[in-house]
Structure formats: C-alpha cells, structure tokens
Structure 1
Amino acid sequence: MGDMVVVRKEGLYCVPGDFYIDPWRPVERAVITHAHGDHARHGSAHYLTAAPGVGVLRTRLSEDASIEGIAYGEKIRHKDVTLSLHPAGHVLGSSQVRMECGGEVWVASGDYKVEADKTCAPFEPVCCHTFITESTFGLPIYRWEPEQDIFDDINRWWRKNADEGRCSVIFAYAFGKAQRILSGLDPATGPIVCHGAVEPLNRAYRAAGVALPPTSMVTDVEKAALRRALVIAPPSAAGSPWMKRFGDCSDAFASGWMLLRGARRRRSVDRGFVLSDHADWPGLMTAIRATEAERVIVTHGSIPVMVRWLCQQGLSAAGFETEYGDEDEAVTAAPLAGEAADA
C-alpha cells in the first residue's frame, strides 16, 4: 500500500478511506479536527467531527450544515479505513484523526497542545506508524510558562488597573483563547465584558459543559462599572469605534507570539501575555515521542527546522505543504525566527 494520506489540491486526502482531513476546498466528505477557520471551511457536503465540538462547528459554519459528531475513541468504518477521533487538547472539540488500514496506523494531529486546561479534553497520545504533526511553534526558542503563572499575571494586571480606575482590555482570538482566559479569571475583581464575536462561542462552551465565569455585553454594563471591567475582544476590534467606549484603558494581547520582542511592538499594546493553544518546542517533541511513530510528517509552521531535527534523531521525517495558517493566534505580521524573547 502507498501512503495512506496524500496532499491534493483540496487538502489532505485519505486514499483508502476516500475522505479529506480539514480540506481547504469543498469536498464530499470532510473530517474536521477543530472549528478554527483555517481547518473548518464552508462548502463541503458532509462533516465529521468530535461530538464535543459539534456546537462550535455549527456556530462557525451554519445551522443547516450536515455535521455528524462521534465520541472520542469511537471507531467507525469508512471504505477500507477504521477511523477514530482522539483529544488534541487544542480547543473545545479538537481531535486527532486515527486511521487504520491493513495493519498500518496513521494519525493526523490537526493543532494540539500537551498542557491540560479546563476548557477542553486533554491531549491523548495515540501510538501509530506515521504521525502528521503541526509545527506552529516548532523552534527551540518557544517554551511556555505554566498556564497558572500566566493567569496569575493577568489577574494582577487587571486588579492594578481596576484599583486605578482603568478598564483592562485583552485582545485574544474569539474561539478557544478567549474561553481559556475566561476560565482563569478572578471575577471578584470586577465585571467581565465580552465582544459580540466572543459571546456566542462562550454560549457554545457552556452548552458543552465547560464552566466559565459570568460575562456581559458592553451594553449591559454601566459606564462607571467599566472602569473596573476586564474586556475580552478579538484582535480586529483594536482601533475600532467600539473601543472608544472604554476611554483611557490599558490593553494587552494574548498569544504565543508575545514571547518575541517585536510582536508586542507591532501590536502597540501595553502588555503581552504569552499564552498559546499550540504545543511549544518541548511539547511537540514530547507528543512525537509518545506516538512511537517511526515516520513523522510536518505541516504548517517551522517545517524545515523540525524535519531536520527529527531526521537527526533517527526518524524518517518529511513535510506537507498545506493551506493552514495562524488564524487561532491572530497575528498580523509573522515574527522573525531570530527575534529574542523579552527579558
């Protein structure tokens, strides 16, 4: 048998199963690892995803989209392939796609992180012969601090601003990052306000059983109370008329790219919080080792660096060119690989 998964103009194609994984063009049958816009696109006839992510995917696509959800670990047969989905730890409903055919096992990871958080099922290593991995932060400089340290830093910043009578605004991607930040906030500090792009995703998370603190739309909060509020908004809201209602506010951006010195400067924000829903370099290496795969295929991110490193470790490694991007990190300008971290 040849390669189980190949790249076609529509996306990653499972040959013996006759389906696509996160296709970037409309297809008959799409298996979706998660509902970020670069992995879940409109127009396919039928979508399969993990059951916890159905609500979010429907919010992102449309109410009449043909979406089927299956439980994590549940096996289904499609053509010559036994298919199952396993937690990726990226965002609510994110999954890795396990494909087995003729005794050969491939796993396509989608996007993932190995640090557990309260908003989604934790990453589950899946043993396989070939592992398709992302490499968004596939450089040794990327090493994350523990999540709780970042939450403590955000809460201290918020309390300081509230005590000074200044509204705090965090720009973060509406799906995944916003809800993860919410899960770590101390609501005793003040009201929590969410942009209209964030609040529908909050409802989808709550409907899936994820505990989030109470949130409000800005129109539901008195102007005086906004001086103690923390606001979560998508990056597109920066500089918009919507922001004027918060007056002299302190702003921040939450992203893994904030580790780089130039990223915060390009964003022109007061603070940068290094919080990513992708694995850092140690996390990528940990995940790859845990699969026990002899062959690794690297996608979107630092493909040449990771391929070279994995080959030096004795693995068979190569890259797939895909159309996946950094929508979930929402960066306007790609950082330079040589930029050093802030002290």
Structure 2
Amino acid sequence: MNWRIEKGNGFFLPAIGWHLDARKPVHRSFVSHAHFDHMGAHDTILCSPATAKLMQRRISGKRNWIIHDFGETFELKPGVTACFYPAGHIIGSTMLWLEKEGRSFLYTGDFKLTRGISAEVCQPVKADTLVLESTYGLPRYTFPPEEQVFGEMIQFCRDTLDNGDTPVIFGYSLGKSQAILRSLAEAKLEVMLHPQVLKLTRSCEELGWEFPPYFAFAERQHEGKVIISPPMPKDSEWMQSIRKPKTAMISGWALDPSSTFRYQCDKTFPISDHADYLDLLSFVAKVDPSEVYTVHGFAKEFAATLREQGYQAFALNQENQLGLDLPAEPVVENDLPQTSEPKIESVDDSSYAAFAQLYESLCQTDSIRKKQDLLDSHLAKLSAEDCNACISLLDTPDPAIATDFPPKRVLQSLLLATGTSESEYKQLHQQLRNTQTTAAKLLGQQSITSGKSLRDLQAFLKALAAAPNPIFKQSLLSEQFRKLWPAEGVHLLAYLSHSTSHELSDEIFCQAIAQRFGQNVVEVRAAYLRNGRLLPVLQAAADHRLDSIRICYFQPIAPLQAKLEFSPEAVMEKQGLSLWAEPEHDGMRCQIHKNGEHVDLYDASGDRITHLFPELVETARSIPQHFIADAAVVPWGYESPLPRSELDKRLTLRAEDLFLGEDVEVTLWLFDLLCLNGEDLLDKPLEERRQKLDTFSVTPKIRITPVSPLMGVDQVEEALEQTTSRGNKGLLFKDPQSAYDPLAEAESWLKLR
C-alpha cells in the first residue's frame, strides 16, 4: 500500500477519494483550519468542531459536516481508519492521521510545534508517510523566544503611546490577532479591535477561549489605545481614520531585512503561527516517517536537508536534486579572525566615538521622550561649533558626496577596508539579517579606536565631497573605515548610504536646538519652517537672531497637510457650524516660486519639477507679483478636470518626449499665498493671505481656487456631491484664522471625500 498524493486544488488522495485543503469547491474535502487559503465551499467537509464553527461564520451556505474531536478514532470509509490531532497553528487547526492496509499517513496542514498562546498544543504522532508544511524550511528562519518578542512589541506600544501616536498592530484576523490580544493581558493597555478581528475574537470566545478586556474600534475614542487590525494599506479609508498611526506587523518573515518595506509598516516582529526551521526538524524526528513530502514555502530546500539526514524526502510536484551532498542552505560561519570589540571606558564628549554611542542609543529606542532626552543631554556638553557638527551628522549628507557615489560604492569601500569579499559579506549578512549589524561584525575585527573629533569627521566629509571622481572617493572612504571604531563605522556607513535609523523628527531637532541655546521652541520651529535646513537655524539660535530667518525664494518648505474626516458632523465638531470650504483638486500638489523672471515649481517632497511644465512657467512670468504659493497641477479639459491618470501619463514620458506632454493640458490652481513681494506671510491668518492672493490676475493656465461659505450638514453634503461630480477629490475645510504651520499639532485643515 502506497499513499499517492496528487497536487492541484489543494491535495488529493486517490486511495480514499478525498481532497485535503481544497480551495475550489469539490464533492468532499478535509479542511485543516479556517483560514481562507485552506478552505472552500465544498459539499462535504471533514474537520474539527472549532474549525466547523469558524468556517460557518466565514462561508455561507448549507453543506454536510463530518466533525470529530481530537484523539477520536473513526472509520472514514471501509478499511480506512482516521484520527485528528491538534496542529498548534490556530484555534481548531487539525492534522489528519490515516491508516489503510497497515500503512499510516499524516497530513500536517499548517502547524506549529512550539506551544503558542492562541491554539491547542501540537501533538505529533508516528506515521509511515508524512506530508509536511515547510514554509520556513531554511536555517535562517529560526525564531527567537515568543516571550521576548512579545515583550519588544509591548514596549513598542508603550513608546508609541508615550509619543502621542497610536500603535496599530497588524496580524491576520484569525489566529495572530488573538495571539496579539492574549499577549497584552498583563500589559495593562487598553485595546481596540478592527471589526473583522472583533467578529472572529467573539467567535473564539464562543468556543471557550478567554481574552483580556477589549473594545470595538471607535474613530472618536481610539486615542491612547492599542489597535489590533488585519494588514491594511496606509492610504486605506480605515487607516486614514486613525490619528497618527504607527504600525507594526507580526510575521515570521520579519526575520528578512526588507520586511518593513515589504509590509509598508514602521516595525516588524518575528512571531509566526507556523513551525520554524528547528520545529520542522524536531517534528520529523518525532513522527519518524519512512517517506516525507514537503509542501509550501522552502519545500525543495527542506527536502534536501532531510535527505542529508537519511530520510527519503521529496518536495511535492517540484524538481528534486538527488544525490548531492550540498546542504540546502549552509549555516554560515564567519571565518574572519575573531577579536572582541574594543570597550571605551570614557571618551571626550566632542569625539566621534561619543557621537557614535549617541547614535546607537537613539536607534535602540522608539520613545520620542527618550530620544529627546538623549539628544538634549549630548548637545548640552558641546560647544556651538560641535553642536553644528553633531546635528549635521544626524541630518542628511552633502549632495556632492552622493554624486557618482551611490550606497553600493559606500558598502564596497567598507569591504575593501576590512578585506571582505562580496560573497563573504552576503553570507554574513544572510546570517545576521541586518546591514548595520553586519558592518559592526566586520569592523569588530579592528581593535583600535579612531580618536577623531566631530570636526575631524566634518573635515573628512568635505574632502570626500570635493574628491574628483568615484574611484578617489572610494579610496578615501576605505582608508577612513580602516581607522574607525566599529560603532563609528556603523554610523558612517548608514550616514553615507542615506539609511540612518535614529528616526529623529524635525520637532525633536527643534526642541533640542531651543533647549541647548535657551531659545523659545516656537521661534525655533518658525525659523525652521521658513528655512527648511537645520544648520542655519542652529547658527541663528546660537547667535540669538532667529527673527532674521524668513521664507526664501526657491527654497521650498514642507506643505501643510489636511486630516481626513468621514462625516460633516466630524468636521463641524472641530471647526464649528460655519465653514470655509474649497474643492480638493485631484492633481499634483506643488509649490510655485517666482521672483522676477525666475520661476520654479517643486513637488510635495521639495524636488524641482519645473522642467515638466514649461507652459506653466511661461504663464507665471506674466504675473507681475513676486510670490511663493501653495498650489496643485490639475489635468484639464474643457472647463473641467480630467482624471488624475491623464496627468500620470504626462509625468511618465521620457525626457526627450516631454514636448508631447503638452497634449495633456494642465492648469495650476493656486490656493494659498506664503510670500508676496518679499513679505513673509506664514504667520498671517489664512483669511488675509487669501485676500492678497485674490488680487492676482487669472489666466486659463493659472487660476485661483474658489472658496465657499457653508453652513450645516445639508449644505456640506450638497457641496461635496457637486464638487466630486465635477471631478474633484472632495472638499477641504480651513480655519480662516489659522497660520500656515505644517509642524503645528492643531488640525486647521480638514478634508472630506
């Protein structure tokens, strides 16, 4: 008797005529658990009681249920004995054990051998044939202890709340979300659940599982609470309803260095409801099968690992390389000579080593308050000139350095300095999974400290920027890396690669500068808003001449952003019954600067886009005033906006085809005035700024966005319907007495779509 397995719609066992975890509807299928990727609307379903109840809440319709408890032996069909065993994946997850003609078979479905907090404990059982889920079948997917990672997640939540932000923890609605909720039991944090998580958590409670207190998500009451949600894009309507969200994803793939980019979130934590690499090895040893079929994830690689250990193992429906003695993924050993990292007992406060220790401490905390205290304390020990050097090394590097010298060349300079080949670096990086940790490991072979001051490093960076070509830059940088203490080298690598991870906000810098030089933080913030660069603001604060910094032509500032609301009532609650409203254009936000014949356009990131819209530049030159204005470039038809996609077509044209872009007509809509004829207007109320803007002469190419007074819910709803029917995104509501301050906490601009 051989257990033949066919892969297609899930898996199929011809010997008994049953599918396993089929997705598309079939006559009969075993369903291991109630995740959508393992179940379908089948006629007959074989599963555990908990899986049946959870499925009934997720898939509608009538069907025939065959339900058995864990450990209950039953006859599936004449001559075939079956039994369920807990898989440890989610509540109700089940492994199917079968026996026919003296040959046993075990199908794991998704499973987790290590005891979790939101599923029954996995129970391996002996079997001749094993079909094994091997999602994390590589050595690098060995998870740290869950208690440790949950502790880090809780600290992330505390720091985020302390910062005045809202922690949003992403986990799949069934399984991980309940594990996250249970992990918070002793943390004394208030928790709100996304509606889908709420529904399934209540279903789990009906099955006898207990959870700490929680609330249903409420838009107006979520501040100060932890939110548990299924993964959501940042621009989704639901995420837009959360005030100042800071997001974290719970996933085994968090062990990958690119996980935050992959999930588009602020943090990732390596917790999974699947077996890790060590779990897989241990599970196979406990089952002791004569043959193994690996499925999902790194099935081919793990099958090769099992063959090395003497098992007859194959990746189901994949090409298997037999007879090779090479491991699927070798465990990397760093064969460089090992020396301990030098310990610095005390260093001069103005040294690069002291700064590197500051940078390391800033990277290790998520708490804004702790970051602020660290930076304030360090600057207090430095002279004004050294403060300048410190802030510059926490800011972005001189663009001249980046010219012809991308991050890859910076890394190559490090490898040259440490005598490391690219293949050795890749192996070590694969083991450590973090560029900065890998750099520290490589530099840790050097037992010297640099003795460099902050000013020494500034002088080096100036020389690097002035270097005549990339090869000379690489030579200079590799020589510099050879002289640095590991923590110094880690910072320099991150700084020159534009990958610093201290997460210092503009507000923290402004607070630190104000604290160091005894200035009013409001005045420091105002100066930074006008200048957009930290070092001139720091120098002005040191010289007690902050009032000398004004908004400058051709130096774009950060745009003021509107907060999305979801009802007219919410808008009126914040801005009153009488509203100042204008259409929200469906176009490209920009800033236009004009002084004499010189005109430049900048996008919301501050990048120059003048070359993309030559017709707007030419039209702007005919306006007699010298000004800086907030505006939007909108694709335009016959007296009405075109879809934003038309503008995107123009923006994607090659440089040599830009003249063809004028076939897509655009209009520049001005809606705020920041500077007029050299007068800084940022502190003026919006009402006054608009009065000055309304004196401008309009043209078919450059127009002024109209403002409408609205009163009450009915007028708002009618205006919203009218503006969206004309092709606009929605309505903007602005406080007419507000200054133009992107750094302010007050929500002076709101939007409704």
Query: Which residue identity is paired with 1:145?
Result: P
Q: Following the alignment from structure 2 to structure 1, what is the Cα–Cα distance between the partners of residues 270 and 111?
A: 16
CA gap 1:230/1:91 in 2 versus in 1, 3 angstroms = same
The DSSP-based 3-state class of the residue aligned with 2:313 is strand
Deviation at 1:8, TM superposition (A): 5.0
Q: Once the two structures are superposed, what CA deviation does each residue of 1:111-148 show, in whole Å capped at 9, x if it has no partner?
A: 11111123211110110111110111110001111111
Name the structure with the higher helix share: 2
Give matches, 1:211-250, under 5 Å: 211-219=210-218, 222-223=220-221, 226-250=222-246
Query: Which residue identity is paired with 1:139?
Result: L
Query: Which residue identity is paired with 1:53?
Result: T
Q: Following the alignment from structure 1 to structure 2, what is the Cα–Cα distance between the partners of residues 250 and 296?
A: 43
Q: Once the two structures are superposed, what CA deviation does each residue of 1:287-329 show, in whole Å capped at 9, x if it has no partner?
A: 011001121100011122111111111110112249xxxxxxx
Instruction: Specify the alignment match of 1:258 in structure 2.
Output: 254
Give matches, 1:38-49, under 5 Å: 38-42=37-41, 44-49=42-47
Deviates more, 1:173-182 or 1:240-249: 240-249
Q: Following the alignment from structure 2 to structure 1, what is the Cα–Cα distance between the partners of residues 302 and 212?
A: 39
Q: Once the two structures are superposed, what CA deviation does each residue of 1:60-89 show, in whole Å capped at 9, x if it has no partner?
A: 222634333210011121223111110110
Instruction: Specify the alignment match of 2:171 in structure 1.
Output: 172
Q: Once the two structures are superposed, what CA deviation does each residue of 1:137-191 show, in whole Å capped at 9, x if it has no partner?
A: 1100011111111221111111122223221001111111111111101476432
In the alignment, structure 1 residue 130 sits paired with structure 2 residue 222:
no
Q: Following the alignment from structure 1 to structure 2, what is the Cα–Cα distance between the partners of residues 222 and 188?
A: 23
Query: Which residue identity is paired with 2:190?
Result: P
In the alignment, structure 1 residue 300 sits paired with structure 2 residue 296:
yes
Segments of structure 2 that go 5 or more residues without pairing to the other structure are: 319-426, 438-753
- Greater Rg by CA: 2
Instruction: Specify the alignment match of 1:329 in structure 2.
Output: none
| Residues 129 and 290 in structure 2, CA contact (< 8 A), matched pair in contact too | yes
Instruction: Specify the alignment match of 1:77 in structure 2.
Output: 75
Give matches, 1:292-331, under 5 Å: 292-321=288-317
The DSSP-based 3-state class of the residue aligned with 2:307 is helix
Query: Which residue identity is paired with 1:195?
Result: H
Q: Following the alignment from structure 1 to structure 2, what is the Cα–Cα distance between the partners of residues 78 and 188?
A: 46
Deviation at 1:222, TM superposition (A): 4.3
What is the TM-score when the length of structure 1 is the normalising length?
0.89
The DSSP-based 3-state class of the residue aligned with 1:297 is strand
The DSSP-based 3-state class of the residue aligned with 1:228 is coil
| Residues 32 and 48 in structure 1, CA contact (< 8 A), matched pair in contact too | yes
Query: Which residue identity is paired with 2:72?
Result: E
Deviation at 1:275, TM superposition (A): 0.7
| Residues 118 and 210 in structure 1, CA contact (< 8 A), matched pair in contact too | no
What is the TM-score when the length of structure 2 is the normalising length?
0.42
Query: Which residue identity is paired with 1:163?
Result: D
Q: Following the alignment from structure 2 to structure 1, what is the Cα–Cα distance between the partners of residues 49 and 233?
A: 31
| Residues 91 and 176 in structure 1, CA contact (< 8 A), matched pair in contact too | yes
Q: Following the alignment from structure 2 to structure 1, what is the Cα–Cα distance between the partners of residues 48 and 276?
A: 24
Instruction: Specify the alignment match of 1:280 in structure 2.
Output: 276
Instruction: Specify the alignment match of 1:328 in structure 2.
Output: none
Give matches, 1:145-160, under 5 Å: 145-160=144-159
The DSSP-based 3-state class of the residue aligned with 1:231 is strand
Q: Following the alignment from structure 1 to structure 2, what is the Cα–Cα distance between the partners of residues 201 and 236?
A: 17
CA gap 1:321/1:195 in 2 versus in 1, 3 angstroms = farther
Name the structure with the higher strand share: 1
Deviation at 1:56, TM superposition (A): 1.2
Q: Once the two structures are superposed, what CA deviation does each residue of 1:272-293 show, in whole Å capped at 9, x if it has no partner?
A: 1111001110000000110011
Q: Following the alignment from structure 1 to structure 2, what is the Cα–Cα distance between the partners of residues 63 and 116?
A: 34
The DSSP-based 3-state class of the residue aligned with 2:164 is coil
Instruction: Specify the alignment match of 1:55 in structure 2.
Output: 53
Q: Among residues 238, 261, 268, which one is paired with 2:264 in the alignment?
A: 268
| Residues 16 and 81 in structure 1, CA contact (< 8 A), matched pair in contact too | no
Segments of structure 1 that go 5 or more residues without pairing to the other structure are: 323-336
| Residues 28 and 46 in structure 1, CA contact (< 8 A), matched pair in contact too | yes
Q: Following the alignment from structure 2 to structure 1, what is the Cα–Cα distance between the partners of residues 186 and 147?
A: 16
Q: Following the alignment from structure 1 to structure 2, what is the Cα–Cα distance between the partners of residues 179 and 222?
A: 24
Deviates more, 1:58-67 or 1:30-39: 58-67
Instruction: Specify the alignment match of 2:362 in structure 1.
Output: none
Name the Cα RMSD after superposition: 2.1
Q: Once the two structures are superposed, what CA deviation does each residue of 1:163-221 show, in whole Å capped at 9, x if it has no partner?
A: 232210011111111111111014764321111121111011111111112222222x7
Q: Following the alignment from structure 1 to structure 2, what is the Cα–Cα distance between the partners of residues 278 and 130?
A: 21
Q: Following the alignment from structure 1 to structure 2, what is the Cα–Cα distance between the partners of residues 17 and 57?
A: 24
Deviates more, 1:78-87 or 1:132-141: 78-87
CA gap 1:186/1:73 in 2 versus in 1, 3 angstroms = closer
- Greater RCO (Cα-Cα under 8 Å, separation 6 or more): 1
Identity %: 28
